[in-house]
């Protein structure tokens, strides 16, 4: 395999780098990288891997573009709202670099498809935003014996690491157990600085390029922490936990991570609630900052205070519990059921986000 004259022109700035040159560029051309998620982190990862000339890039995402994505997911425009993220990303990226082969996997990652997908690629990039999928990505990478470039973001902070590289530590070595359900809201619930995923995703792409070309010192057994407010950056070392053996998937990753079973929970749509809201009690379990920013009144008790303040919740009507999107409210309902709340409990589907989408 050689570079064509057009490719040499496209990658000229790489070719004149002694550390990459034509040999390194050919390694990039031959590489196959699978990116899980075409959202905040996935967008910059995909853009820079495409520009760098990674020969085959797989994109796994079953979601569609929403207007709220545009604040940080810079591959998309208002014209893309409602379209497949994976397919839209591939269409746009092919215009950036016609020498890259894109494979679109328009689906959410699951136990059923993970191994088949991972075995088609050399390296995996995690651009997901929830703990069940992160543990699934990690476990599938170990079982399939694929290196994993991890990234995560939270408000103004980001993390990057390389897992399972030539027998190195894995995500479970760093985080053996997930945080308590509801204790770490995702960006749809708590917000994220728009430029942060661009910074963290670019760092992920940098690690991918280093691994493929064999240059530099990758973040193996190291966690890079970045704070966008102070611009402080730390690299923390950690060791492989030899006692952790990953040979099979969890039976249920949602259960493992404490995600409530909303399939067996009473729910109410935003439309139905608004039509008949005088016949319900409303409990908002978001944080103080979220409630102050926007609310539709009702009783406000943050989820992390709920257990201590159960006695404050009235019970003369059906109680509708609300958060930003319906996840923390589901956890609140599980807690109320444990304490035998005497009236019917209903989870507001889509949370306050859905309420305001109707009002607008």
CA atoms within 13 A on the CB side of 181: 20
Walk across the sheet containing 267-268 and list its strands. Answer: 267-268, 345-348, 318-322, 280-284, 299-300
At 148 the three-state DSSP class reads strand
CA dist., res. 69 & res. 194, Å (int): 10
Strand pairing class (101-105; 56-60): parallel
At 262 the three-state DSSP class reads helix
Active site residue 43: no
Cross-strand bridge partners of residue 103: 58
Write the CA distances from 220 to 18, 81, 200, 332, integer angstroms. 24, 38, 16, 38
- Which residue is catalytic, options 43, 173, 187, 257? 187
Q: Among 180, 159, 179, 171, which Cα is nearest to 244's?
A: 171
Q: Among 156, 149, 187, 155, which Cα is nearest to 171's?
A: 149
- Which residue is catalytic, options 43, 173, 257, 323? 323
Active site residue 187: yes
CA atoms within 13 A on the CB side of 11: 31
Q: Among 162, 318, 345, which Cα is nearest to 260's?
A: 345
The residues carrying an active-site annotation are 187, 323
């Amino acid at each position: 395999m050689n570079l064509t004259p057009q490719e040499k022109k496209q990658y000229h700035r790489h070719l004149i780098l002694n550390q990459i040159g034509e040999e390194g560029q050919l390694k990039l051309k031959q590489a196959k990288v699978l990116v899980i998620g075409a959202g905040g982190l996935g967008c910059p990862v995909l853009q820079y891997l495409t520009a760098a000339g990674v020969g085959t890039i797989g994109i796994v995402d079953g979601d569609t573009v929403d207007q709220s994505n545009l604040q940080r997911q810079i591959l998309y425009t208002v014209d893309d709202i409602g379209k497949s993220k994976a397919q839209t990303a591939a269409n746009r990226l092919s215009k950036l670099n016609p020498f890259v082969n894109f494979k679109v996997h328009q689906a959410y990652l699951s136990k059923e498809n993970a191994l088949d997908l991972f075995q088609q690629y050399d390296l995996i990039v995690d651009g997901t935003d929830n703990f069940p999928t992160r543990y699934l990505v990690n476990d599938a990478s170990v079982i399939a014996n694929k290196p994993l470039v991890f990234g995560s973001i939270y408000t103004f902070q980001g993390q990057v690491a390389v897992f399972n590289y030539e027998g190195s530590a894995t995500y479970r070595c760093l985080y053996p157990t997930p945080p308590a359900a509801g204790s770490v809201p995702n960006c749809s619930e708590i917000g994220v600085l728009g430029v942060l995923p661009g910074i963290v995703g670019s760092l992920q792409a940098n690690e991918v390029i280093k691994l493929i070309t064999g240059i530099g010192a990758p973040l193996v057994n190291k966690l890079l922490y970045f704070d966008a407010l102070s611009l402080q950056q730390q690299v923390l070392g950690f060791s492989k936990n030899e006692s952790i053996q990953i040979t099979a998937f969890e039976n249920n990753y949602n259960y493992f991570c404490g995600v409530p079973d909303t399939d067996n929970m009473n729910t109410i749509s935003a439309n139905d609630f608004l039509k008949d809201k005088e016949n319900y009690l409303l409990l908002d379990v978001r944080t103080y900052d979220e409630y102050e920013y926007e609310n539709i009144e009702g009783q406000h008790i943050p989820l992390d205070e709920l257990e201590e303040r159960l006695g404050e919740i009235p019970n003369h009507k059906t109680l509708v519990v609300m958060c930003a999107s319906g996840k923390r409210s589901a956890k609140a309902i599980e807690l109320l059921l444990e304490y035998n709340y005497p009236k019917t409990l209903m989870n507001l589907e889509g949370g306050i986000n859905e309420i305001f989408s109707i009002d607008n």
